[in-house]
Structures are given as C-alpha cells and as structure tokens.
Amino acid sequence: MDINCIGIESKRDGFRKYLESTGMTEKLTTALMKLYQEEERPVDAVGYVKNFLSPGDSENCITPEKFEALQAEVEKVTKERDRLTLDLAEAKGSIKKSASEIDLALTNLFRDFDEDESGKSMLKEYLTEELFLKLKGLRTDLRGYLLDNIQSGLTHYDQEIGIFASDQYAYVTFGELFNQVLEDLHNVETPEADEVEGEDSELPKPIAQPDVDWGDAEELNDLDPEGLFIKSISISVSRSFHGIPFMPTIPLNKLKEIAENLNKILVTITDEEFQGKYFDLAEIDKEMKEKWIQEGILFPNPDDKYLKAAETYRFWPLQRGMFLNDKENFRVWVNEEEHLKITAFEDGSNLREVFKRLVKSLEYFNDLKFARDERWGFVTHNLKNIGNTLQITVKAKIPKLSLPENSEQLDAFATGNDIAFKDLGLGLLELTSKKRMGITEIETAKAFQKGIAEMITAEKCLYA
C-alpha cells in the first residue's frame, strides 16, 4: 500500500476515534435520526441540528417559526404605536386655550413682532399698533380670533404674507387688515373717492371677482406639441366649505364630516375616466406614501414651518386623505392645507385636454356649497389661493433660459406674465400661474398659455 494512503487512513481513524470519544458521533447520529423522523421537514435543517446539539442556545437561534412569531409581534407593536400616535394627534388638536390665555399670547407675540425691525412681511407692513388694538378683541362668526389668523406671521418674521385665514368670515371681521394685504398681494386697487367722476357719483366700489366662467376649452391648445420643452402639466382648484372653519380652528368632527361626504361622492363615480379609490392618509403604506410624495401625487409631509405655526396641521394625519383615479391623471386632496383641492394632471403639455378633464370633474361637486366672498371670490386658508383659485403648473426643460447669465430675461418673462418659477436644477423649471384674482378661470388659462408660448419662443431664440 502506498505510504501516503496509509497516512491518510491513519488520520481518518484518529479523527473517527476523537468524534466517538467526545460523543459527537452519537449526537450527530441522533440529531440526523430525529430530522429523518420529522413528518414535516423544517426549512432550516442546519438550524434544526444546531438547536438539537446546543439546546441551551436554542433561544438565540431563529427558526422560521420563531421568526414568524417575532414578525407578528413587531406588527402588533407597530399598530399600537400608530394608534397611540393618532390618539396623541387628536389630544393635541383638542387642546383649547381660554380667551385670557389667547389675549396674553397675542399681546406678547405682537410686542416682540412690533419691536423687531428685520421682518419684511405684508403683516409687518400693514398691522400697525393702532390697527392691532382695534382688531385684537374681535371674533369671527365661526369664533376665530385674530391670533388664529396671524400667529404664523407673529412667529416667523421671514415670510411674504404672514396671514393664514381661520375661516371665511375672517375676510370680513378683520377686513381692515385683510383688504390691505390682499390688494397688495393680488395687485388689486380700490379707486380713491376723488378718482370718481361727477359730483353725484357713488363712492367707488372695490374691484370684485367675476362670476365663475370656464369658457370654451377649444380656445386652449397643446403648449408644446413637439414635446421639446414641457414635461408635465397639472391644473387645480381649491375650495373651502361654507360655514366650516379652516384648518387652524376646525374641530375633528368637522374634518370627519368633510372626509366622509367627499368619500361618498368620489367612490360612487361610475365614469371610467374618474373611477378610482380613496386613500386615508393614516392608512397608506409608508413606501407607497413616500413614492407618491416624490412623484407629486400625494401632498407633502407636514413640515412647512409657516403652516405648522399657523396650526394648519391640527389633528394631522386624522381625517386627511386623497382620491386617485385608476388612470392616475385625476386626484382630490382632502383636508390638507385647504378643505378640498381638485387636480387634473398628466405627462406632456396638452393644456386643452387637462383643462377639459378638470372642468368635467367639477360636475360631481355641483351640489356642495363653497365659501365665497362678494369681492374676493372663493376664499381659502391660504390668501394666495383666493379668487378663481385656478392654478396651472408645468415642468419645463429650458436649459438656456435658466442659465445664470439669462436670469434677468427669465425674471422679466415671469413677472410680465404673472408666472412664478422654481428652479429644480439641470435646466428644469417648475412654472406656475399666479394671476387668479379679478379674472375668470378661462382668462387665467389663456394668459398662462400666452406666457408659456413666449417662454418657449425666448428659449428657441437662445439657440439661434
């Protein structure tokens, strides 16, 4: 026999004796026999043998059964955490301050606000001490205090406006403040008495928001038929329900009433163009929620410091939700910043078709009564949204016009056409219509169409 074979055999025999003397052979044999006798073979055979060999460590070994039990426990704890989070949101939102506490808080906040010289908001410009003293003791018909309307502006001095309406009647109760701010914000002027001709002329009447007029959608077109610049388009309107407070002062039962009533309307739609599903914000899967937020389909997380200070997120996420149609080109946001925000959207640039879809969808809401002011039109929590409330937004790839050396031209284009823009980087701009006060819905759409056409022309010229 080869000497090498003798050496290997000797090592094997020695190792075999070692296993026998330490009891390993008996243990392994018994373990394998137990595994063989199992009617249902475990998925993790190695784990099974390991547990048998070291019963003292079995608690540290994760079997499939133990993993499922742990997973179930995690789900149970997660559900309980979510329930407690909702309970906390309800409890925090239900806290009420007494009239004296509100007066003290308002007085202290205004004192610091008035002494500060850094603020440039419209609230800072128009809320004089004299006007503050005149308004501080007033309440709206829906019991809104001055503090409910200006607490965001008194907390954060670095914002443009500084006011978020507590309810529809705030526009009247605090009209001496609101009117000045709104005239400035929406570039609407009231003629002075001496500008009215004739001695017998009546006192000048403020410019009022015209009646709703969606006009003829055929007057609109595809903003970018070649598909070179416009990537997506959305058109929305915001609405507040008549007689129901806005977010800073709304009670939970009214939030629930809005959500339930809208849900009943939306889920019974039979038109295939709008059929879809209502999603309760508190129940949307976390991954799906983040996906929709990134895509702009779902409203963003409640982290805007101005809205937070205004108590817009009261009771969040309770009774908030979204309806999304199956085609994913129509949605309704419920109880986000406003009671209701209805949006038609799609990839591409066909203003006419998206406009028609939005107008058609509004037929489902004809029986609802919305808050409307004789002068300011549809009134909302956010003072920017009033008037016809129509907002058109496109995402446009215009790399030349968005270059730093062309910033003045871009600013002039935006200002001249009442369009706000946000630079998203890499030549992509988000362009949004601003003019919605003093003009009809169709006029807003036509003005935006004209402005985008000018922008595209300017971009093309930069390539010449």
Say how far apart CA 18 and CA 24 lie, in whole Å.
Answer: 8
* DSSP H or E run through 284: none
- 416 marked among binding-site residues: yes
> Binding site annotation covers 418?
yes
Q: Is 31 annotated as a binding residue?
A: no
Whether residue 232 is annotated as binding a ligand: the answer is yes
In the numeric block, the tokens 């939306």 are attached to 266
Q: Is 297 helix (H, G, I), strand (E, B) or coil?
A: coil
Task: Please tell me the distance from the alpha carbon of residue 91 to that of residue 97, in angstroms, as a whole number.
Answer: 13
Q: Which residue has tokens 């959608």? A: 217
Residue 21 annotated as binding?
A: no
- 173 labeled binding residue: no
List, in order, residues 6 or more apart from 234 with CB less than 8 Å away: 296, 343, 344, 345, 354, 392, 393, 394
- Phi (first) and psi of residue 344, to 5 degrees: -110, 140
CB atoms within 10 A of CB 412: 11
Helix (H) and strand (E) counts in the chain: 16, 10
Q: How far apart are the first and last CA of the chain?
A: 92
User: Is 269 within any annotated ligand binding site?
Assistant: no
- Residues 164 and 149: their CA atoms lie apart, in Å, by 5
380 assigned binding-site residue: no
Cα angle value 420/305/175 (rounded, 5°): 70
- The position carrying tokens 């022309």 is 457
- For residue 239, the cross-strand partners are 340
Beta bridge partners of 323: 278, 332
Q: Which two tokens stand for residue 73?
A: 């426990």
57 annotated to a ligand binding site:
no
The verdict on whether residue 393 carries a ligand-binding annotation is yes
Q: Is 394 annotated as a binding residue?
A: yes
Q: Is 310 annotated as a binding residue?
A: no
Q: 233 pairs with which residues across the strands?
A: 346, 394
Instruction: Name every residue whose Cβ is closer than 8 Å to that of residue 376 and which is 6 or more positions away in sequence.
Output: 171, 182, 209, 386, 387, 437
Residue 391 assigned to a binding site = yes
Asked if residue 398 lies in contact with residue 407, where contact means CB atoms within 8 angstroms, the answer is no
| Annotated binding-site residue? 414 | yes
The 3-state DSSP class for residue 372 equals strand
In a 13 Å sphere around the CA of 324, the CA atoms on its Cβ side amount to: 17
Q: Which residue carries 């959305």 as its tokens? A: 234
Positions at the binding site? 232-236, 391-395, 413-418
Positions at the binding site for ATP? 232-236, 391-395, 413-418
